[in-house]
Amino acid sequence: MAVLAARIGDWRGRRLHVAPASKFGWSGHLVVRGARADMLVYDDSATGLYGRHGFLHELGHLVLDHDGVTFDPATTAAADVARRLADRIGYANQEERDAELWATLVGLDTIGPSPGD
Ligand SMILES: [Zn+2]
């Protein structure tokens, strides 16, 4: 996954840093786009397909060049940031649905159908 992330960073012409969420005392998947580089934080407490799918979902946001949630940390109130991020939980948002589809298709291409299919 780190190799795929590095290749996507190269393809986008922007360095993509990858870090485990536990490094920040957190769990969950998140991608942060900075001025000169991006960071993908992956949930290292998630294992197997769930962990892999979450990682691919965040890569999908970058590949699909999603707008995501933008704010200036110097001027945006924490409560406003939390509200805007909460709007992205679930799949009501089109970008979330597209990132899910991208992750599913790339995951299937990588691991193939399940043995029962
Ligand atoms: Zn997402």
Query: pLDDT per residue over 61-86, tens digit each?
Result: 999 999 877 777 788 888 888 888 87
- Tell me, in angstroms, the distance from the centre of ligand 1 to residue 98's CA: 9
Record the pTM: 0.83
Q: Any idea what the Cα angle at residue 4 is, between residues 90 and 73, rounded to 5°?
A: 50
For residue 73, give both structure tokens: 């940390």
Percent of the chain with pLDDT over 70: 94
What is the distance between the terminal CA atoms of the chain, rounded to a whole angstrom?
Answer: 25
CA 14 to centroid of ligand 1, rounded, Å: 20
Ligand 1 center–CA 99 separation, angstroms:
6
> For residue 112, how far is its CA from the centre of ligand 1 (angstroms)?
23
Tell me, in angstroms, the distance from the centre of ligand 1 to residue 59's CA.
9
> For every residue of 94-109, which 3-state class applies, written as one string?
HHHHHHHHHHHHHHHH
